[in-house]
Structure 1
């Protein structure tokens, strides 16, 4: 029975942690007001759950459900980490841009703020980190040329394997050589006649090869 299974899941001791992990996924990248609503909803659920707890805590006689709840919780935790990583990388990139702009315009007065602290909510940083920052982030001065070199080296390191394999594929194709001019012209003529469906059948392929 579906309803009975739902009731067992909700009554499971791990359900509160499962719900928290799910809401943490929803908080990633969400506006501050959405994060506040999600936090409030979970607190209300925990309060209701505590008030409705019975002495049946020892009735956990379903190892399969225990395993499911634990696996689902671990999956949600990993999913949140995957969601958080690109946002953290984007924030780090924006901090570098902000530092570069401040370096270039340091003689013109107040520092530039590309984003404020309230835009950093929900991206996986802990409350302790936010408290210790004092609302401001100390940004080191960055040499734009050094930053360009670092970016180029990063991209080259990341895609060097792909580029080398692509180069090998291109060199293989070059070794095969080009079609003779007459054969190439016959193919072009065939494509012009069959432009609505330029995919030859097996019989047509044989005829083109023989011609």
Structure 2
């Protein structure tokens, strides 16, 4: 058991050393990024840009930041404070706001295209009223034999402006609709006759 505890202690020390080294590298990298961003954006460390998040999101970020804070302002493992300075916060807010704006602009066209495609698909299933009326008129005139000839189809293509495939599909679907309605009507008549 003692060996196990010693092993765990050595792992803890190695891990802390590893984290210290990488934390220092991360802090230096963040500092370099901060300097680069400040030179690009022209934001001074004390400059604020206003709120870019709702109060709930802002409170969530604060609670996430404070979650690692110890009572003495350190992160609980002795690596130093994790509290952001006012300059760092304003820089983060400015970057967040700019990134949000860029994302909105970048995806706005795609969202509009997707919306148009969805609306086009919704409209695609329905024929215009006058076109459907023309096809229904032919259907009612030929209800005893609702199979148009090729000449009838060509004339309907001219009258409606639809493609031949659309005409064929409409008649197939109409026969199915009519078959179901006539089938249920004839079966109800048969049950009445049996009584």
With the length of structure 2 as denominator, give the TM-score of the two structures.
0.27
With the length of structure 1 as denominator, give the TM-score of the two structures.
0.25
Quick one: higher RCO (CA 8 Å, sep 6+), 1 or 2? 1
Instruction: Say which one has the larger Rg.
Output: 2
